[in-house]
Amino acid sequence: MSTAVPPAEDTPSPIHPAHQKTRVASLDQFRGYTVFGMAFVNFLGGYAFLPDLFKHKHTFFSYADAIMPQFFFAVGYAFRLVLLRAMEREGYPAALRKGLMRCLGLMLVAFVVHGVSGGVGTFDELKKYDFWSFLHAAFKRGYFQTLAHIAVTSLWVLPVIMLGGRPRLIWTILSALIHIAISFGFKHLGWLTWSNYDWTLADPVAIDGGPLGFLTWTMPLIAGSFAFDWCSRPPGEGKPVERLLGWGAAIMLLAYGLSCLNLRFPPNQDSGRWLLEPPFVAPADPATKNYWTMSQRTGGVTYPMCAAGFSMVTMAVFVLLCDRLKWRWGVFDTLGSNALLAYILLGLLEDAIRPWVPKDSPAWFALSAWGLELGICWVILRNLQKNGVYIKV
């Protein structure tokens, strides 16, 4: 797994974040595209007319599964940019404090947006919970969604995000190995009867890898930090498009190779096959899931790894089109420059509109409702953009 995230030079001297006074066009466009894709799959994912490729199936790497990791990738890019800039101005301790406050602030925002699970009807019922059973009931599922995962993962990588390539790479590999050990390895060896994989799928079923998902979400986030390194060097030195494409393809291939271990362990050890269907192709037998399956629900190492590679390839396209060819799409620019607020608004609008769009709606009606959701969000964000208002933590 030593190639899970590409190494960069340990000495970041060619990188000058403090000199970047303007917004990064490719990053804004990449984020805007990701918000656009999120709105599409979240709103329309439950309708029968939409192919499985655009839905979360938890048995293979679909287009829908590619969206959430791209937020982590963009956060890794921006997190490194902001903290290196703060370190140049104020020093390492001040930058570290800034990063810590950003993470804690986002954790509070996540609590407001996602809330918690469960609840009680009476105070006597509440008194039956001890501290740990309360945490399990309230926080295992409801709280640990996108914003909480980003906040906790950012906090986890904070010790290395401002360092050179080698420490970030080592941190990423160790995080992945820890997740494999506690989710698969220790139980497989008979050392433990508990595994994070089984616990994630136990009631209440966790979302996006559960509370320990940050160990593998580290991969797309750190991958974004390497993208910043390559994109921030002087023209002709970083070769960002070539590196993003090359490393992205290599990481996806490695993730696919690891996913084929699905066929070597129960319940598939007698399948007689060596190669699983490639990413974006549904498996022939979707019921045969285990730790090595590319599943957003369980957050096993293969899925975030493949997503990190795919995010690199996607970012390469935006670097080429936006930074080199100077192409811009207004809707992506508006959504991407206020991505946090866009995420919150789209969730609120989905809750308001989708109850009036039944699951058996024809495609034209569901698409029109989604267009209404996106249009209202765009109008609000565009007005803020014209006034120079950007919401961030």
**pLDDT class for 23, splitting at 50, 70, 90?**
confident
Q: Between these two residues, 85 and 18, which has the higher pLDDT value?
A: 85
Angle among Cα 78, 81, 83 to the nearest 5 degrees reads 105
Q: What is the pLDDT of residue 133?
A: 93
- Give 218's Cβ-side CA count (13 Å radius): 26
Query: What is the pLDDT averaged over residues 125-134?
Result: 92
What are the pLDDT digits (tens) for 222-270?
999 999 999 998 776 778 999 999 999 999 999 999 999 999 998 888 8
Q: What values do phi and psi take at 331, rounded to 5? A: -65, -40
Q: What is the pLDDT of residue 393?
A: 76
Instruction: Please state, rounded to an integer, the average pLDDT across all residues of the chain.
Output: 91
**pLDDT class for 13, splitting at 50, 70, 90?**
very low
Q: What percent of the chain has pLDDT over 70?
A: 93
What are the pLDDT digits (tens) for 319-358?
999 999 999 999 999 999 999 999 999 999 999 999 999 9
What are the pLDDT digits (tens) for 276-327?
999 999 888 766 789 999 999 999 999 999 999 999 999 999 999 999 999 9
For residues 231 and 240, is the Cβ–Cβ distance under 8 A? yes
**pLDDT class for 17, splitting at 50, 70, 90?**
low
Place of tokens 């946090």: 340
Q: What is the pLDDT of residue 383?
A: 95
- Give 93's Cβ-side CA count (13 Å radius): 0
pTM confidence score? 0.92
Lowest mean pLDDT among 1-10, 122-131, 179-188, 193-202: 1-10
Q: How far is CA 148 from the centre of its chain?
A: 11
Q: What is the 3-class SS of the chain, one letter each residue?
A: CCCCCCCCCCCCCCCCHHHCCCCCHHHHHHHHHHHHHHHHHHHHCCCCCCCHHHCCCCCCCCHHHHHHHHHHHHHHHHHHHHHHHHHHHHCHHHHHHHHHHHHHHHHHHHHHHHCCCCCCCCHHHHHCCCHHHHHHHHHCCCCCCHHHHHHHHHHHHCCCCCCCHHHHHHHHHHHHHHHHHHHHHHHHCCCCCCCHHHHHHCCCCCCCCCCCCHHHHHHHHHHHHHHHHHHHCCCCCCCHHHHHHHHHHHHHHHHHHHHHHHHHCCCCCCCCCCCCCCCCCCCCCCCCCCCCCCCCCCCCCHHHHHHHHHHHHHHHHHHHHHHHCCCCCHHHHHHHHCHHHHHHHHHHHHHHHHHHCCCCCCHHHHHHHHHHHHHHHHHHHHHHHHCCCCCCC
Task: Write the CB contacts of 226 (distance below 8 Å, at least 6 apart in sequence).
Answer: 5, 6, 8, 165, 168, 247
Q: What is the pLDDT of residue 374?
A: 96
Q: Tokens standing for 98?
A: 């800034």
Q: What is the pLDDT of residue 284?
A: 82
